Amino acid sequence: MTGIKENKENKKRLLIVAAVLTVAGGVIFAIAFAILGFDIAKLGTQKYEFNTYTLSEDFNSIKINTETASVILAESDGGECKIECVEREKMKHTAEVREGTLVIDVENTKKWYDYIGSNFGNETITIYLPKAVYASLSVNADTGSVEIPKTFSFESVYVKVDTGMIDCYAEVSDSTELQTDTGSIRAENSKTDGEVKLKTATGTIKIADVHCNRLSAESHTGSIDLTNTIADDNMTINCATGSVKLDGCDANEMKVATHTGSIVGTLLSDKIFFAKSSVGNVDVPKTTSGGTCELVTGTGDIKIEIKK
């Protein structure tokens, strides 16, 4: 019995010591954080640089390859292209014009041991463009968001990000393709004779004021919202887990499917409906003319109205 009591007392002492050390560690962290001005980026071990590149050559296309930097497009005050980079010490970017294309690449000179440590900084590439109209934009990034404002227009836009959000507000006249594995996608203000393709594994998709020939939107986990979106030929929407909302949308042929989630909203013209929900209510107009509209959900309600 004495041994059992001693073991209990030893455990109690160890727990008290552990609690005291935890509290002391928290106090030390708070003091250090305060000394650094509550700037979490200063807690990281990675070193950052601010570099500026200026190009005077003319270009009509843009191609960007980066690993962990967010990409932001902005208007230039002058006639030159200026690129401002907040970048890691051994992951600097290069910028040059090749055969009429602005090419931005990343040069990763890190060794395996350079990846050991903490990183709380935000890497960014801000590109100040001297013109408003360009032929094409291509962005490939591992981790980082992409922002394309409505002050620019392109014939084609292609953006692929592994982890990060994509916001495309530019007018695109030919084709748009936006892909991200983890992150949301927003596309607005586009009128094109081509195709708009949006795909995310984990994240929401929001589309507004888009008129195209064909449109496809796919999200494995996340809702899909369309507002004032028209596809002259066909519109295909697939959602594994999440709802689909249509507000003032239309297409000659529509296919909307979700495994778990409702399908609701308004269309602009009569349709021949095929609607099915395994678990949920179905309420669609009893129209017998117009294009075809197929609506299928596993679990969720279907409610569609025609907006006259």
Q: Helix (H, G, I), strand (E, B), or coil: what is residue 135?
A: strand
Q: Taking a C-beta distance cutoff of 8 angstroms, is the pair 237, 224 a contact?
A: yes
Q: Measured in Å, how far apart are the chain's first and last C-alpha atoms? A: 86
233-262, pLDDT tens digit by residue?
999 999 999 999 999 999 999 999 999 999
d(CA 267, CA 277): 19
Looking at residue 122, its pLDDT comes to: 78
Could you tell me if residue 5 is left (phi over 0), alpha (psi between -120 and 50 degrees) or otherwise beta?
alpha
The Cβ-side half-sphere exposure at 227, using a 13 Å CA radius, reads 8
Q: Taking a C-beta distance cutoff of 8 angstroms, is the pair 204, 183 a contact?
A: no
Element (H, E) at 204: none
**Phi, psi values for residue 225, rounded to 5°:** -120, 130
d(CA 84, CA 62): 15
Q: Taking a C-beta distance cutoff of 8 angstroms, is the pair 163, 183 a contact?
A: yes
Question: How does DSSP classify residue 42?
Answer: G
Identify the burial level of 73 via C-beta atoms within 10 angstroms of its C-beta, where 0-12 means exposed, 13-18 middle and 19 or more buried.
buried
Q: Length of the chain in residues, anyone?
A: 308
Q: Taking a C-beta distance cutoff of 8 angstroms, is the pair 144, 121 a contact?
A: no
d(CA 274, CA 138): 38
Looking at residue 93, its pLDDT comes to: 87
Which parts of the chain have pLDDT scores under 70?
Answer: 1-47, 90, 108-121
* pTM for the predicted model, two decimal places: 0.81
Looking at residue 36, its pLDDT comes to: 45
Nearest to 83 by CA among 120, 47, 56, 48: 56
273-296 burial, b at 16+ Cβ within 10 Å, e below that, comes to bebebeebeeebeeeeebbebbbb
195-247, pLDDT tens digit by residue?
999 999 999 999 999 999 999 999 999 999 999 999 999 999 999 999 999 99
Q: Which residues lie closer than 8 Å to 273 by C-beta, 6 or more apart?
A: 284, 285, 287, 293, 295, 304
